[in-house]
């Protein structure tokens, strides 16, 4: 079969889903399999494709037709300009999270430019937050934790890819794996993008997320706020006085998370909006 015919098959397999651009995705998948540029595909529509690639392509497009995320198909996704390995079992890093990381990097370069500081990333997933902070702020020492096996393995792959000796990952529940490493009261920043979907809303998520991304990365308990409560309480042991606790939140959780931080004695609390004008980040400082 030639490239043009395969693209037609790909398009037919996935068209009709409102969040998929069938031709563009078919081109992306095929160019990835053939290890060529997208532009190569456009000008070689009559080129013959070998049988094995043909079968792989159709298999992938069939999976995609059920909503399987493109990022898992490629095994890679860009975060803060850094291609990261992703696979089933880790949350695909989101552009909203980049906003929070940009804020943190700016904060570090403004207030801790010439200091060696410690940053904790709780629920690190692919390591996206920890790795970009460690890469762009080389004087930070970043500690990421995750309760699941696959994220810790994937985060280490990503860490090694960028040779970041200032970033380490720990397997376990929230702060537990940090209990015995002697960093109590030493962190300038604790960051987390925790699971924050209300349990009852899990079934309303887009199929790509609901069916294929890990539930352990999404479900934030009955009111979606379980992790904000636990991290705000547990984090106080690790923050320095004046240290910052910063969260990514769901668009309607700003006030609730602000209240949690206030109840735990944090001060100078702010809610920041994303590019769509939704509440997206809450931060506060330990007195």
Ligand X SMILES: C[S@@+](CC[C@H](N)C(=O)[O-])C[C@H]1O[C@@H](n2cnc3c(N)ncnc32)[C@H](O)[C@@H]1O
Give me the helices (H) in 112-148, please: 128-136
Spatial distance between the Cα atoms of 214 and 123, rounded to a whole number of angstroms:
13
Region of 8-16, 120-128, 159-167, 237-245 interacting with ligand X (CB under 6 A): 120-128
- Total count of residues recorded for the chain: 287
Residue 147 near ligand X by CB under 6 A: yes
Member of 10, 22, 194, 254 binding ligand X (CB under 6 A): 194
Spatial distance between the Cα atoms of 193 and 267, rounded to a whole number of angstroms:
20
Element (H, E) at 41: helix 38-43
Member of 10, 22, 69, 125 binding ligand X (CB under 6 A): 125
Residue 254 near ligand X by CB under 6 A: no
CB 82 within 8 A of CB 135: yes
Residue 97 near ligand X by CB under 6 A: yes
Minimum Å gap between C-beta 33 and ligand X is: 26
Member of 129, 131, 231, 249 binding ligand X (CB under 6 A): 129
Minimum Å gap between C-beta 71 and ligand X is: 11
Member of 41, 91, 117, 249 binding ligand X (CB under 6 A): 91
CB 2 within 8 A of CB 47: yes
Member of 26, 71, 124, 232 binding ligand X (CB under 6 A): 124
Region of 9-17, 141-149, 180-188, 260-268 interacting with ligand X (CB under 6 A): 141-149
Residue 173 near ligand X by CB under 6 A: yes
Spatial distance between the Cα atoms of 91 and 215, rounded to a whole number of angstroms:
9
Residue 178 near ligand X by CB under 6 A: no
Residue 235 near ligand X by CB under 6 A: no
Q: Say whether 27 sits in a helix, a strand or coil.
A: helix
CB 254 within 8 A of CB 215: no
CB 179 within 8 A of CB 235: no
Member of 164, 190, 217, 283 binding ligand X (CB under 6 A): 217
Residue 250 near ligand X by CB under 6 A: no
CA distances from 63 to 10, 60, 70, 156, 226 (A): 11, 5, 10, 28, 34
Member of 151, 243, 250, 284 binding ligand X (CB under 6 A): 151
Backbone angle region of 274, left / alpha / beta, with phi > 0 → left and psi within -120 to 50 → alpha? beta
Region of 18-26, 63-71, 191-199, 234-242 interacting with ligand X (CB under 6 A): 191-199
Q: Say whether 103 sits in a helix, a strand or coil.
A: helix
Closer to ligand X by Cβ: residue 50 or 149: 149
**Contact positions vs ligand X (CB under 6 A):** 91, 93, 97, 123-126, 128-129, 145-148, 151, 173-174, 193-195, 216-217
């Amino acid at each position: 079969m030639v490239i043009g015919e395969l693209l037609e098959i790909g398009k037919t397999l996935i068209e009709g889903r409102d969040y998929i651009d069938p031709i563009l995705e078919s081109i992306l998948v095929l160019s990835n399999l053939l290890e060529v540029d997208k532009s190569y595909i456009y000008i070689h529509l009559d080129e013959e494709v070998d049988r094995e690639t043909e079968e792989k392509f159709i298999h992938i497009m069939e999976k995609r037709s059920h909503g399987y995320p493109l990022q898992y198909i490629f095994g890679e996704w860009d975060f803060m300009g850094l291609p990261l390995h992703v696979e089933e079992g880790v949350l695909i890093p989101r552009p909203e999270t980049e906003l929070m990381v940009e804020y943190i990097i700016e904060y570090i370069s403004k207030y801790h430019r010439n200091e060696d500081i410690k940053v904790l990333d709780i629920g690190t997933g692919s390591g996206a937050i920890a790795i970009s902070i460690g890469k762009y702020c080389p004087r930070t020492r970043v500690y990421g934790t995750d309760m699941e096996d696959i994220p810790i393995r994937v985060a280490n792959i990503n860490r090694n890819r960028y040779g970041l000796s200032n970033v380490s990952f720990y397997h376990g529940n929230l702060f537990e794996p940090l209990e015995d490493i002697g960093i109590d009261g030493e962190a300038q920043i604790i960051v987390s993008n925790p699971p924050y979907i209300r349990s009852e809303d899990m079934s309303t998520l887009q199929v790509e997320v609901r069916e294929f991304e890990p539930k352990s990365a999404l479900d934030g308990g009955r009111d979606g706020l379980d992790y904000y409560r636990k991290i705000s309480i547990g984090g106080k042991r690790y923050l320095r006085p004046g240290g910052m606790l910063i969260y990514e939140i769901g668009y309607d959780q700003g006030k609730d998370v602000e209240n949690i931080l206030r109840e735990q004695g944090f001060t100078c609390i702010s809610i920041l909006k994303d590019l769509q004008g939704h509440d997206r980040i809450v931060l506060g400082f330990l007195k």
